[in-house]
């Protein structure tokens, strides 16, 4: 790709804004490509700041910090959606290559912008309305029935910012706090799915199989690839939908389309334009991981094969559990890792280097195989053992010796 290259290596310098686990794992992929991610982190203890050689400390809402991090970079990309849109526009006007560009990214930053855009192109989505008044909310709920789902358009993640509301008073309180809300019907869904697609500036796209995402308290904690029992027609329609959205919005990099499956097909929940929790399985489960693919796409390299490496792949997140409590008296983390490896030599561990706290996303494990029930049980048991120190009876450990 044309653009600034590192004079020492002759290869690109990708800047990632945000120092979480997504940047950490993107850095890991960058290393194999001869590169080293430059990371803009807010704290030296963040997951990616702990491992990347070129870490700039600064706030992603501070234009000067963004400018300094972007200096001399080939391209600037993101591990989260929280950079103010006008800062991105300023950087673009100053000649910084930003991927995805601000005009695309705003659809992942602002849930109302997305709803309006999907409505314009007639893509399937839940019944929704932009509400700013009590009458607006009452009218919407009158049409769809209570409960309704209310979301501030910006800033939510991991279920923070999703309010299932049963009555008007509750809705009015949220309105008073936020001023403007996205109202959605509560979708009566069969399950949640996600499709990931990568798109390069050249216009090449590559899509992975549709996956099922399982959430706990609004947080995605398990991913089943491919989505079990999904008929081919729905799967193809979902992949085509993702490709259409990526192309119409001009996405550069990775796009994750979160979907709700209903008895009639799929509707779009929201978008992420970066590596995404629903794609962690691709590290071992696909020929090209989402992290490598994101780098390829933002650098306008040809995209890699998205073929799966096994018939069934399951990713299970480790959220801080009993073992993260200060008074935990079971085996310490290092010992749990040791046991995990001894007991499940085929399970792959990705630990994000964070301090342990209940509910925090600390890592994930991936299992591969042929049989969904067996692979899933293995992944979930391994994740649970790390989180809670609990050994699933189906995977009884040998007696201490
Ligand atoms: N309209 C809805 N109907 C039913 N469940 C919903 C709806 N919107 C969100 N949810 C549930 O809340 C989760 C988080 O919502 P989402 O809009 O994706 O927010 P976040 O930005 O926190 O990921 C979804 O994965 C889904 O489980
Ligand atoms: Mg979501």
Give the range of the structural domain holding residue 150, as residue numbers without chain letter.
127-185
pLDDT in tens, 197-227: 999 999 999 999 999 999 998 899 999 999 9
* Ligand 2 is an ion; residues with CB less than 5 A from it: 258, 270
266 C-alpha to center of ligand 1: Å?
14
Task: Tally the domains of the chain.
Answer: 3
> Do 228 and 299 sit in the same domain of this protein?
yes
Q: Which of the listed residues 137, 152, 185 is the one where a domain comes to its end?
A: 185
> Do 243 and 374 sit in the same domain of this protein?
yes
94 C-alpha to center of ligand 2: Å?
32
Q: Is residue 111 part of a domain?
A: no
257 C-alpha to center of ligand 2: Å?
9
Following DSSP, what letter does each residue of 160-195 receive, concatenated?
BT-EEE-SHHHHHHHHHHHSSEEEEE----SEEEEE
Q: Is residue 327 part of a domain?
A: yes
> Do 147 and 67 sit in the same domain of this protein?
no
> Do 31 and 137 sit in the same domain of this protein?
no
Nearest-angstrom CA–CA distance, 287 and 206: 12
Mutational test site, ligand 1, from 146, 160, 218, max ligand atoms within 8 Å of CB: 218
> Do 66 and 84 sit in the same domain of this protein?
yes
Tell me the CATH number at 199: 3.30.470.20
Give the chain's mean pLDDT.
Answer: 96
**Side-chain half-sphere exposure of 57, counting CA atoms within 13 A:** 5
Instruction: Provide the phi-psi class of 389: left if phi over 0, else alpha when psi is between -120 and 50, else beta.
Output: left
Q: Which two tokens stand for residue 45?
A: 């203890």
Query: Which residues form the pocket of ligand 1, taking CB atoms under 6 Å from any ligand atom?
Result: 126, 149, 151, 156-159, 161-162, 184, 186-187, 192, 215, 218, 258, 269-270
Tell me the CATH number at 175: 3.30.1490.20
> Do 382 and 266 sit in the same domain of this protein?
yes
| Residue 395 confidence (pLDDT) | 84
> Do 221 and 367 sit in the same domain of this protein?
yes
Phi and psi (nearest 5°) for 97?
A: -80, 115
Query: Which residue minimizes the CA distance to atom 19 of ligand 1?
Result: 159
More confident residue, 391 or 333: 333
Give residue 290's Cα distance to chain centre. Answer: 10
* pTM beyond cutoff 0.95: yes
| Residue 354 confidence (pLDDT) | 97
């Amino acid at each position: 790709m044309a653009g600034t290259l590192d004079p020492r290596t002759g290869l690109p310098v990708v800047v990632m804004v945000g120092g979480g686990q997504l940047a950490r794992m993107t850095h890991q992929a960058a290393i194999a490509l001869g590169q080293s991610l430059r990371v803009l982190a807010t704290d030296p203890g963040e997951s990616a700041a702990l491992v990347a050689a070129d870490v700039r400390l600064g706030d992603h809402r501070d234009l000067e910090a963004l400018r300094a991090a972007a200096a001399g970079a080939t391209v600037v990309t993101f591990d989260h959606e929280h950079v103010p849109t006008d800062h991105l526009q300023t950087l673009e006007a100053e000649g910084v290559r930003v991927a995805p560009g601000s005009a695309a990214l705003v659809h992942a930053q602002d849930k109302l912008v997305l709803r309006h855009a999907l409505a314009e192109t007639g893509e399937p989505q839940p019944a929704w309305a932009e509400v700013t008044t009590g009458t607006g909310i009452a009218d919407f709920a009158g049409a769809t029935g209570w409960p309704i789902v209310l979301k501030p358009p910006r800033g939510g993640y991991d279920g923070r910012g999703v309010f299932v509301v049963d009555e008007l008073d509750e809705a009015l309180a949220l309105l008073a706090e936020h001023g403007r809300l996205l109202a959605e019907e509560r979708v009566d869904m069969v399950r949640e799915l996600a499709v990931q697609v990568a798109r390069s500036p050249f216009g090449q796209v590559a899509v992975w199989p549709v996956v099922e995402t399982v959430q706990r308290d609004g947080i995605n904690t398990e991913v089943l690839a491919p989505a079990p029992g999904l008929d081919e027609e729905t799967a193809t329609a979902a992949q085509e939908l993702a490709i259409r959205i990526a192309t119409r919005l001009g996405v550069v990099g990775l796009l994750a389309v979160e979907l709700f499956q209903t008895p009639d097909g799929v509707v779009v929940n929201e978008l992420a334009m970066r590596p995404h929790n629903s794609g962690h399985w691709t590290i071992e489960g696909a020929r090209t991981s989402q992290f490598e693919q994101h780098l390829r796409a933002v650098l306008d390299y040809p995209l890699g094969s998205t073929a799966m490496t096994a018939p069934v792949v399951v990713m299970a997140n480790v959220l801080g559990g009993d073992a993260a409590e200060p008074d935990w008296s079971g085996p310490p983390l290092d010992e749990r890792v040791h046991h995990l490896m001894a007991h499940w030599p085929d399970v792959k561990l990705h630990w994000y280097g964070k301090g342990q706290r209940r509910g925090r996303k600390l890592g994930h494990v991936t299992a591969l195989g042929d049989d969904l029930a067996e692979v899933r049980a293995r992944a979930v048991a391994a994740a649970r053992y790390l989180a809670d120190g609990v050994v699933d009876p189906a995977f009884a450990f040998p007696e201490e010796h």
